[in-house]
Amino acid sequence: MALNDGKRPKVLLLGAIEHAHSAWTAVCEIADILTPTATNRADFVQEAASGAFDGCLAAYRTFGSFEVTGRVDSELLDALPRSLLFICHNGAGYDQVDVQACTAHDIRVSNTPTAVDDATADIGIFLLLGALRNLAVGMAALRAGEWRGSTLPALGHDPQGKVLGILGMGGIGRNMAKKALAFGMTIRYYNRRRLEPGVEKELGAEHVGFDELLAESDVLSLNLPLNQNTRHIISRREFAKMKKGAVIVNTARGAVIDEAALVEALDSGQVSSAGLDVYEQEPYVHPGLLSNPRVLLVPHMGTWTVETETKMEEWAISNVRMAIEEGRLRSVVPEQRGN
């Protein structure tokens, strides 16, 4: 593919490079970097439409750049230059990008799979243990100067011997299975595509139907991407099918759960506790979750470690580099594979 007709390529930087400075410096040596001056979507669309980013071949974007550009959708892509062929997203979940619209605009999209697996599964295990053990109750009482509180927190439960149901068995789900196995949990999972028998055996994971997963799990962990098929995949009907007193863990995206239905299920005792890292409308958190001491809440910190954030940036930058040097992406998103 003739990428730049011998001219220095241009890269649009949406968001900041915080950690992988040497990898980014290497990109700056082979490309000119353009950054928007806009601070909101309307201004960004205008800036793009005015030709400020003309000639850009690739864009590097962060989760936080959503605050400036909003969703990467048809309207945004129409304003961006036709030269833009690659969008390199820093993150495993790419629900902020309308991949169908990108495909229609002949733009390839990449994400950062595997780089996030350990850190996200680690926080998943933290939330699982914390929710099982009612840690949020004791932690809140202690900070309020009441030691364990005026009424003792209810006794928690051990993970040993409990069934962990994993909904979505990609890299994070598999990583979580491996870790939960060490806590003596029985692993069941539901995934559209069943794992190879050897992988199932290694993880000690049994594939079951969706309804079976709901009915048999003591803890249900959400580890699937957010898209039009998975939005509110767990709602009233699904909570009603679960074991009374089940525990919910969500490190995926808030909107895979109907948050209002989760609040109801917690209030009725159908769900005994929850450990959440993600919310339907971040940074807004449903007041019914904030006020419920049986919910352990973390503000989307699943990958919030120096090592993992660095790995993610390096991965996303390697996609930019490959786009410039080879006219292709290292980790194109599944929807565009084979296109």
Ligand X SMILES: O=C(O)C(=O)CO
CA separation for the pair 43, 102 (Å, rounded)? 21
Nearer to ligand X, 91 or 170 (CB): 91
- Asked if 158 and 134 count as a contact pair (C-beta separation under 8 A), the reply is no
Residue among 97, 98, 45, 34 nearest 69 (CA) = 45
Among 300, 314, 330, 335, which one carries the catalytic annotation?
300
Instruction: Report if residue 156 touches ligand X, rule: CB under 6 A.
Output: no
User: In the complex, what is the shortest distance from the CB of residue 304 to ligand X, in angstroms, rounded to a whole number?
Assistant: 7
- Looking at 9, 91, 130, 168, which residue binds ligand X (CB under 6 A)? 91
Using CB positions, name the residue nearest to ligand X. 93
Peptide bond into 334 cis (omega under 30): no
- Residues touching ligand X: how many (CB under 6 A)? 7
Check if the beta carbon of residue 189 is closer than 8 Å to that of residue 212: no
Q: Tell me how far the alpha carbon of residue 21 is from its chain's centroid.
A: 24
Question: Binding to ligand X (CB under 6 A): which residues in 112-141?
Answer: 116
The residues with which 190 forms a beta bridge, in sequence order, are: 167
Which residue, 283 or 287, is less far from ligand X as judged by CB?
283
Which one of 61, 157, 188, 253 is the catalytic residue? 253
187 lies in the binding site for ligand X (CB under 6 A): no
Residue at token pair 């990449």: 110
> Is residue 214 within the footprint of ligand X (CB under 6 A)?
no
DSSP string of 196-221? Answer: PHHHHHHHTEEE--HHHHHHH-SEEE
Among 15, 93, 173, 254, binds ligand X (CB under 6 A): 93
Q: Of 84 and 116, which CB lies nearer to ligand X in the complex structure?
A: 116
Stretch that binds ligand X, among 87-95, 237-245, 261-269, 286-294 (CB under 6 A): 87-95
CB of 164 to ligand X, least distance (A): 21
Tell whether residue 87 is a contact of ligand X (CB under 6 A): no
71 labelled catalytic:
no
Task: Tokens for 23, please give them.
Answer: 């990898």
The tokens of 242 are what? 């679960």
**Which among 282, 328, 330, 335 is annotated as catalytic?**
282
Please confirm, yes or no, whether 253 is among the known catalytic residues. Answer: yes
- Indicate whether 15 belongs to the interface with ligand X (CB under 6 A): no
Cite the DSSP H helix spans in 105-154.
Answer: 117-132, 135-143
Three-state secondary-structure class, residue 61: strand
Residue 230 beta carbon to ligand X: minimum distance, rounded to whole angstroms: 14
Among residues 302, 315, 318, 323, which is the contact residue for ligand X, using CB under 6 A?
A: 302
Contact yes or no for 71/98 (Cβ under 8 A):
yes
Note if 300 is an active site residue.
yes
**Pair 316, 60: CB distance under 8 Å:** yes
Residue 282 burial by CB count (10 A; 0-12/13-18/19+): exposed, middle or buried? Answer: middle
**Judged by CB, which is closer to ligand X: 4, or 114?**
114
Residue 225 near ligand X by CB under 6 A:
no
The footprint of ligand X (CB under 6 A) covers 91-93, 116, 300, 302-303
Active site (catalytic) residues: 253, 282, 300
